[in-house]
Amino acid sequence: MVVVGSLTMAPSLPATALSASDAAATTLALPLPTTTEKSASMVGAQNVVLADFAPQTIARDGYSSEAAPPPPPPVVEAAAAAPAAPAAGGGVQWPFPQAVRISDGFGPRSAPCSGCSTFHDGLDMNAGDGASIGSIADGVVVTSTDDGGGYGAYVEIESVVGGQTVTALYAHMQLGSRGVSVGEHVTAGQFVGLVGSTGQATGPHLHLELFHTDGVRFDPYSWLTEHAG
Ligand SMILES: [Zn+2]
């Protein structure tokens, strides 16, 4: 009776995941303390989704929704069921296979430079200068340029995940490192380019933005945590 009724787990992804952004480079370690053994890798990020199911499952039994989840067996079952739900999209993955540091999350922030926005509309991942960026999903390249202004060298790839169009924008890549061209079909994990610091960047990192057809940016960390796997 472990019915995971809904995948709308957004409300439970705490802002702390994002605000732990400052300089203190947090790893992709997630805010849920009970998943410590999983926090050291990207796999951990996937597991957070599972952990997130826990409150919902428990809530059905009348617990306060805050029941800090010491994930019991039900979570495991939910885990097994999880892949079926987002099947429509499938194949979503993080841009790096290894755990990376998040240096700045999505949302309000104090501007890191004069002229920088006080609202960060992407996710900054410090995988290291020259690290290979992989497409987060199958899709079609809609932008690929070395001359993207503040974005520097960047690529946009449009995908359909769960029946919804999602565009991923990969910014600040090294000049000349882009591995894809406009119109090209790519698969999840396919090489997109190398982490760099082109455009308005204070150092080498991947600035990743996600948006639907309305162009409104949303939190890549939450979305990837929900869909990657
Ligand atoms: Zn950024």
133 alpha carbon – ligand 1 mean position (Å): 15
pTM: 0.62
Q: What is the pLDDT of residue 122?
A: 96
121 alpha carbon – ligand 1 mean position (Å): 7
Report the b/e string of 158-175 with b at 16+ CB within 10 A: ebebeeeebbbbbbbbbe
The answer on pLDDT for 180 being more than 70 is: yes
Lowest mean pLDDT among 84-98, 99-113, 175-189: 84-98
109 alpha carbon – ligand 1 mean position (Å): 11
Looking only at the bridges linking them, the beta strands covering 217-218 and 206-211 are antiparallel
83 alpha carbon – ligand 1 mean position (Å): 30
The answer on pLDDT for 92 being more than 70 is: yes
Structure-model confidence comparison of residues 16 and 222, the more confident one:
222
Q: What count of Cα atoms within 13 Å lies in the side-chain half-sphere of residue 189?
A: 7
117 alpha carbon – ligand 1 mean position (Å): 10
156 alpha carbon – ligand 1 mean position (Å): 15
157 alpha carbon – ligand 1 mean position (Å): 17
The CB density around residue 133, as the number of other CB atoms within 10 Å, is 24
- The band of 157, judged by pLDDT with boundaries at 50, 70 and 90, is very high
120 alpha carbon – ligand 1 mean position (Å): 6
* CATH superfamily membership of 101-227: Glucose Permease (Domain IIA) (2.70.70.10)
84 alpha carbon – ligand 1 mean position (Å): 32
- Phi, psi for 152 (deg, rounded to 5): 70, -140
DSSP at 79? H
123 alpha carbon – ligand 1 mean position (Å): 5
Domain with CATH 2.70.70.10 in the chain: 101-227
Nearest C-alpha neighbor of 119 from the set 222, 218, 12 = 218
72 alpha carbon – ligand 1 mean position (Å): 37
203 alpha carbon – ligand 1 mean position (Å): 10
Element (H, E) at 186: strand 185-186
Place of tokens 């240096």: 103
The answer on pLDDT for 77 being more than 70 is: no
10 alpha carbon – ligand 1 mean position (Å): 21
The answer on pLDDT for 120 being more than 50 is: yes
16 alpha carbon – ligand 1 mean position (Å): 17
Q: What is the pLDDT of residue 42?
A: 43
